[in-house]
Amino acid sequence: MGATLVLASASPRRRELLRAAGLEFEVVPSALPEVPRPGEPAVALVQRLARAKADDVACRRPGCCVLGADTIVVVDDVVLGKPADRDAARGMLQQLSGRAHRVLTAVALVEPGGQHHEMLVESEVEFRPLERDEIERYLDSGEPFDKAGAYAVQGRARQFIRAVRGSYSNVVGLPVEEVVALLRHLSGTPANPTTTP
């Protein structure tokens, strides 16, 4: 591919995943608001936000290959974003307790010439039933408050999780296996990513 890879995200989890995959990149966060539109379906929301982040940074970093991503948690077709406060986080964890939910990550890659490549990866996470006091202790840790769905699969919440079906890194915040496959495809290395013109 040749062009500098730029991550359009301030997420430390996405940075860690890309570094662990051996990729070199710069970080230029997008400051676009992550606000759902009225009645917007979950898939449309996550794809729109990933694309908007990538486009926003691509305009500021011409000549680079810009990677944007957005991750959401969905339960009963309701999107659980980052909780606004302790009460919201508690309510989300109570919703997730004892059941499975979906984690969707949309990825958008903008090449220097403006060509877009997009993918959507879905994983399923199953929580065991949570006791009230362990929810409160988890809230006391401060971990839930900047996470979609109010939990971090790689953090203290791992004790709540009965199973992850599909990409684990997707639940962390970036489906790194699929991203690496896409980048290899663009650089000419054989791979089979899902792209859109």
Instruction: Dump pLDDT digits (tens) for 137-195.
Output: 999 999 999 899 999 999 999 999 999 999 999 999 999 999 999 999 988 754 443 43
Q: In the prediction, which pLDDT does 1 show?
A: 53
Residue 88, burial from CB neighbour count under 10 angstroms (0-12, 13-18, 19+)? middle
Give the pLDDT band of residue 43 (cuts 50, 70, 90).
Answer: very high
pLDDT in the model for residue 187? 80
Among 55, 56, 70, 77, which one carries the catalytic annotation?
70
Express each pLDDT in 50-99 by its tens digit.
999 999 999 999 999 999 999 999 999 899 988 999 999 999 999 999 99
Structure tokens at 131: 């006791």
**d(Cα 129, Cα 5) in Å, to the nearest integer?**
41
Structurally, what CATH architecture does the domain formed by 5-186 represent?
Answer: Alpha-Beta Complex (3.90)
Mean per-residue pLDDT over the chain, rounded: 92
Q: Catalytic: 70?
A: yes
| Contact between 104 and 41 (Cβ < 8 Å) | no
178: its two tokens: 């699929």
pLDDT at position 31 over 90: no
Question: Which pTM does this prediction carry?
Answer: 0.89
Contact in structure between 86 and 138 (CB atoms under 8 Å)? no
Which of 44, 160, 54 has its CA nearest to residue 101?
Answer: 160
> What average pLDDT score do residues 11-38 get?
93
* In contact, 119 and 193? CB cutoff 8 Å: yes
Q: What is the pLDDT of residue 196?
A: 36
pLDDT at 42: 95
- Residue 195, pLDDT score: 37
Q: Which of 98, 104, 86 has the alpha carbon at shortest distance from 150?
A: 86
Give the span between the Cα atoms of 176 and 18, in whole angstroms: 7
Spell out the residues 6+ positions from residue 67 whose beta carbon is closer than 8 angstroms to its own. 5, 6, 7, 8, 9, 25, 54, 107, 108, 109, 179
How much is the pLDDT for 3?
A: 82
